[in-house]
Amino acid sequence: MRVKKIFTSGIIVLAFLLLISFQARSQKIWTLEDCINYALENNLDIQKQIQSVESNKAYLMQSALGMLPNLNASASNYWNFGQTIDQYTNTFATTSVRSNNFYVSSSMVLFNGLQKLNTVKQNQILVLASKYDLDVIKNSISLSVAGYYLDILFNSELLDVATEQLRITKLQVERMQKMVDAGSSAKGDLLNIQAQKSAEELTQVQTSNQLNISYLSLEQLIDLPVTKDFHIEKPKLKAVEAPKQPVTPEIIFEHAIKTRPEIKGAEMRVEAAQKRLAIARGIISPTLSVSGSWGTGYSGAAREIDPNVTPTITSYKMGITQVSRDTVLGYQVDYATRLKSFGDQLKTNNNQSVGFNLNIPIFNGWQGRSNITQAKIQKNQAELDLDIEKRTLRKIIEQAYADAVASLQKYNSALGRLNAQSESFKYTQQKFDVGMMTSFDYNNSKKDLTKAESDLLQAKYDFIFKTTILDFYMGNPIQIQQ
Measure the CA–CA gap between 442 and 448, rounded to whole angstroms.
10
- Measured CA to CA in angstroms, residue 239 lies from 234, 338, 411 at distances of 15, 104, 11
| pLDDT single digits (tens) 58-108 | 999 999 999 999 999 999 888 877 666 766 677 776 677 888 899 999 999
- Measured CA to CA in angstroms, residue 397 lies from 391, 392, 452, 466, 481 at distances of 10, 9, 29, 10, 22
Q: How confident is the model at residue 21 (pLDDT cuts 50, 70, 90)?
A: very low
Q: How far is CA 294 from the centre of its chain?
A: 47
Q: How far is CA 375 from the centre of its chain?
A: 26
Q: Is 362 within 8 Å of 225 (Cβ atoms)?
A: no
| pLDDT single digits (tens) 422-449 | 888 888 778 777 777 777 777 788 788 8
Q: Taking the domains of the chain in order of start, what are their residue ranges?
A: 1-30, 31-68+112-285+364-482, 71-107+288-302+341-360, 306-339
| pLDDT single digits (tens) 308-330 | 877 777 766 566 666 666 666 66
Q: How many CB atoms lie within 10 A of CB 47?
A: 10
pLDDT at 128 exceeding the cut of 90: yes
Higher pLDDT, 236 or 180: 236
Measure the CA–CA gap between 280 and 45, rounded to whole angstroms.
33
Higher pLDDT, 153 or 5: 153
Task: Give the fold, CATH level 3, of 31-68+112-285+364-482.
Answer: Outer membrane efflux proteins (OEP) (1.20.1600)
- Measured CA to CA in angstroms, residue 106 lies from 69, 116, 268, 289, 297 at distances of 7, 18, 36, 11, 19
| pLDDT single digits (tens) 106-125 | 999 999 889 999 999 999 99
pLDDT at 266 exceeding the cut of 70: yes
Residue whose C-alpha is closest to residue 290's, from 123, 93, 70: 70
pTM: 0.78
Higher pLDDT, 221 or 309: 221
Burial of 292 (0-12, 13-18, 19+ CB in 10 A): middle
Best-predicted range by mean pLDDT among 139-143, 184-188, 363-367? 139-143
- Per-residue confidence (pLDDT) for residue 80, from 0 to 100: 79
Q: Taking residues 323-342, report their average pLDDT.
A: 71
The amino acid that residue 128 corresponds to is L
Q: How confident is the model at residue 22 (pLDDT cuts 50, 70, 90)?
A: very low
Q: How confident is the model at residue 305 (pLDDT cuts 50, 70, 90)?
A: confident
pLDDT at 20 exceeding the cut of 50: no
| pLDDT single digits (tens) 96-107 | 788 889 999 999
Q: Taking residues 444-472, report their average pLDDT.
A: 87
The amino acid that residue 98 corresponds to is R
- Residues with Cβ < 8 Å from 299, sequence gap 6 or more? 86, 87, 88, 89, 97, 98, 99, 345
Q: Is 281 within 8 Å of 84 (Cβ atoms)?
A: no
| pLDDT single digits (tens) 350-374 | 899 999 999 988 887 788 889 999 9
Residue whose C-alpha is closest to residue 474's, from 283, 253, 264, 296: 253
- Per-residue confidence (pLDDT) for residue 247, from 0 to 100: 84
Q: Taking residues 465-478, report their average pLDDT.
A: 88
Average confidence score pLDDT of the chain? 84
- Per-residue confidence (pLDDT) for residue 387, from 0 to 100: 96
Q: Taking residues 135-141, report their average pLDDT.
A: 93
- Per-residue confidence (pLDDT) for residue 64, from 0 to 100: 92
Q: How many CB atoms lie within 10 A of CB 313?
A: 9
